[in-house]
C-alpha cells in the first residue's frame, strides 16, 4: 500500500471514531513488521496499528493505558475516547509536548537545560510508580539472567553478530555475578510502564506518558533501567549532571536499588544485541547508539575492575593482619 492510500484510510478511520477537522500526520511508519499511523485531529489523536497484532495483545495495551489513566489521570496520561478492536485503533486526547529524546537533542544545542528535562522525567516516573506501588519483594534474578545468557550464547555461537563482539562478551561475563549479589535483597515494585523509552514521555506544560505496554507489577528497576540505559547510549552525560537531576526528580533512594545494578547492564546488552554488525546496514541513529553502548560498556568494566582491585586490597589487608600475607616466602 502506498503512503497516500494508507493515510487516506487512516483519516477515514478517524472519522469513524468521531474525529473532526483536518488530519495532521504525526507519524507514519511503513514496514513489513510494523505499519503504524498517528494522526492529529485538533485536540484528538488517532493511533492505528495496521500490522495485524492479535486482539489479545491490542486489548492488553488498552487495558494498561486505562489503568495508568486511573492511577494518574489527565494530563499525565491521555484520556481515551474511543477504542476499535476490529481495526486495532484508538482515539485519545492530544498531549501537547516534545519527547524527552527530542528535548535532550535540543539541550545539546544549548536551547534547553538537560537537567530540567531529566528532573521532570524523573518526577513523572516517581508519580506513576508511587500511584501503583506494590509491596517490596525479594529479588529473583533468574529470568533476567537467562535472557542475558541467551543473548550471550547467540553471540558466542555467532548465530547473532554484534559490533565489537569481544567487548560484548566481556561485558556479558559480569552479569551472573551482579545478579548473584542482588539475589534475595528487597526491591520496590509497582505497575511498570513496560516500554519507557525516551520518546514515550512528552514534556510541555505537563509531563505525559504514552504507549504503555501490558500491565504487570514488577520491580521498578525495569522501568528505570530502560529509561536510563537508553538515555546513556543516546547522550554523553560527561559530568553526570543530567542523570543526577533525574534522581533528584525520582528520589535518590532508588539509585542504590540492588535490582538496578544488574537489570541496567542487561538492558544495555539488549540494546547492543539489536545493533547491526555490518556498518553499511547501520542508520545514523544506530551509529550514535553504538558509540554510546561502547562508552557505557567501558565504564561498567572500569567500575567492576575498580571494585575488584578494592576487594583484593581489602583481602590483602585482612590476610596481613592474620599473618597470611607473605607466608612461605
- Give per-residue pLDDT as tens, 196-209: 999 999 999 999 99
Instruction: Say yes or no to pLDDT of 167 above 50.
Output: yes
Instruction: Say yes or no to pLDDT of 124 above 70.
Output: yes
Share the mean pLDDT of the chain. 93
Domain boundary assignment for the chain: 3-93, 98-311
CA distances from 111 to 120, 203, 225, 287 (A): 17, 15, 27, 24
Instruction: Say yes or no to pLDDT of 220 above 80.
Output: yes
Report pLDDT for 89. 97
Which whole number is the average pLDDT over 286-311?
84
Question: Would you tell me the crossing angle of helices 284-321 and 221-234 to the nearest 10 degrees?
Answer: 110
Instruction: Say yes or no to pLDDT of 230 above 50.
Output: yes
**Confidence class for position 307, pLDDT limits 50, 70, 90:** low
Which of 33-37, 67-71, 251-255, 286-290 shows the lowest per-residue confidence on average (mean pLDDT)? 33-37
Burial 152-174 (b: 16+ CB within 10 A, else e): beebeeeebebbbeebbeebbeb
Task: Please state which CATH number belongs to domain 98-311.
Answer: 3.90.1200.10
Fold assignment, 3-93: Phosphorylase Kinase; domain 1 (3.30.200)
Report pLDDT for 53. 84
Which whole number is the average pLDDT over 68-89?
97
Report pLDDT for 308. 54
Which whole number is the average pLDDT over 167-195?
98
**Confidence class for position 34, pLDDT limits 50, 70, 90:** confident
Report pLDDT for 306. 56
Which of 25-34, 86-95, 167-176, 227-236 shows the lowest per-residue confidence on average (mean pLDDT)? 25-34
Instruction: Say yes or no to pLDDT of 9 above 50.
Output: yes
Report pLDDT for 275. 98
Q: Please give the share of the chain, as a percent, with pLDDT higher than 70.
A: 92
Amino acid at each position: 500500500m502506498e503512503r497516500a492510500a494508507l493515510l487516506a484510510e487512516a483519516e477515514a478511520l478517524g472519522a469513524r471514531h468521531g474525529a473532526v477537522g483536518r488530519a495532521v500526520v504525526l507519524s507514519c511508519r511503513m514496514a513489513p513488521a510494523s505499519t503504524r499511523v498517528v494522526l492529529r485531529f485538533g485536540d484528538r489523536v488517532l493511533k492505528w496499528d495496521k500490522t495485524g497484532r492479535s486482539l489479545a495483545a491490542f486489548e492488553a495495551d488498552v487495558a494498561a493505558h486505562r489503568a495508568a489513566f486511573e492511577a494518574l489521570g489527565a494530563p499525565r496520561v491521555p484520556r481515551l475516547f474511543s477504542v476499535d478492536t476490529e481495526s486495532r485503533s484508538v482515539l485519545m486526547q492530544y498531549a501537547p509536548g516534545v519527547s524527552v529524546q527530542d528535548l535532550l537533542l535540543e539541550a545539546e544545542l544549548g536551547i534547553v537545560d538537560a537537567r530540567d528535562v531529566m528532573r521532570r522525567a524523573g518526577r513523572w516516573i516517581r508519580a506513576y510508580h508511587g500511584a501503583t506501588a506494590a509491596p517490596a519483594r525479594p529479588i529473583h534474578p533468574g529470568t533476567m539472567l537467562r535472557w542475558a545468557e541467551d543473548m550471550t550464547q547467540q553471540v558466542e555461537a555467532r548465530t547473532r553478530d554484534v559490533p565489537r563482539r569481544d567487548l560484548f562478551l566481556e561485558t556479558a561475563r559480569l552479569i551472573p555475578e551482579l545478579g548473584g549479589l542482588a539475589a534475595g535483597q528487597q526491591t520496590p515494585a509497582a505497575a511498570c510502564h513496560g516500554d519507557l523509552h525516551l520518546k514515550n514521555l512528552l514534556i510541555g506544560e505537563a509531563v505525559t506518558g504514552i504507549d504503555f505496554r501490558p500491565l504487570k507489577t514488577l520491580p521498578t528497576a525495569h522501568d528505570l533501567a530502560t529509561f536510563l540505559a537508553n538515555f546513556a547510549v543516546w547522550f554523553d552525560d560527561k559530568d553526570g549532571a543530567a542523570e543526577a537531576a533525574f534522581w533528584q526528580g525520582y528520589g535518590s533512594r532508588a539509585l542504590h536499588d540492588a535490582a538496578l545494578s544488574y537489570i541496567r547492564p542487561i538492558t544495555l546488552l539488549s540494546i547492543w544485541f539489536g545493533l547491526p554488525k555490518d556498518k553499511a546496514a547501520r542508520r545514523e541513529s544506530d551509529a550514535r547508539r553504538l558509540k554510546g553502548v561502547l562508552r557505557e560498556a567501558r565504564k561498567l568494566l572500569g567500575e567492576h575492575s575498580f571494585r575488584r582491585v578494592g576487594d583484593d586490597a581489602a583481602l590483602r589487608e585482612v590476610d596481613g593482619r592474620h599473618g597470611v600475607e607473605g607466608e612461605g616466602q
